[in-house]
Amino acid sequence: MRRPRAFSSPPKLLTQPFRTLPGVPAHTALRALRRESFDRKQRERLAEASLMHQEDQLAHSLRDEQSVKELRKALVFKAQPIRRYTMGEGRRRTVRSVTVPKAPKLQTAIRAEYYCLTRNSYLE
């Protein structure tokens, strides 16, 4: 392992102030001016973008409201007349009578007997 080298004397500090040449601006000042103009342009772009976004949202909401109004207007119930279709040639009405419906016999004799027995047992 190597030992760190020890300095014989501490580093010297600048005793004189930093000098600038007269009439020549420092680089930091120029950079600060450029950065300030860049920041200003960036803020303007962001403000313009947010304004455009708000306008787009407003236009989109207005379009949505208009489409909902049109849809509601179109969905209003309107009675449709019954259409009368012609039979056409070679087709004629049938001569058979209409079927007479009959009630289904759901209660069979066994079920009826069971029903009567259970009903009478409840009444007694």
pLDDT means per 10 residues in the chain (124 residues)?
70 72 78 95 97 96 94 80 72 81 74 73 54
* The pLDDT of residue 121: 58
**To which residue do tokens 């960036």 refer?**
42
Is the model's pTM score more than 0.85?
A: no
- For residues 63 and 56, what is the distance between their CA atoms, to the nearest angstrom? 10
* The pLDDT of residue 88: 67
* The pLDDT of residue 60: 96
What residues have CB less than 8 Å from 11, skipping those under 6 apart? none
* The pLDDT of residue 10: 72
Report residue 112 CA to chain centroid gap. Answer: 61
* The pLDDT of residue 123: 52
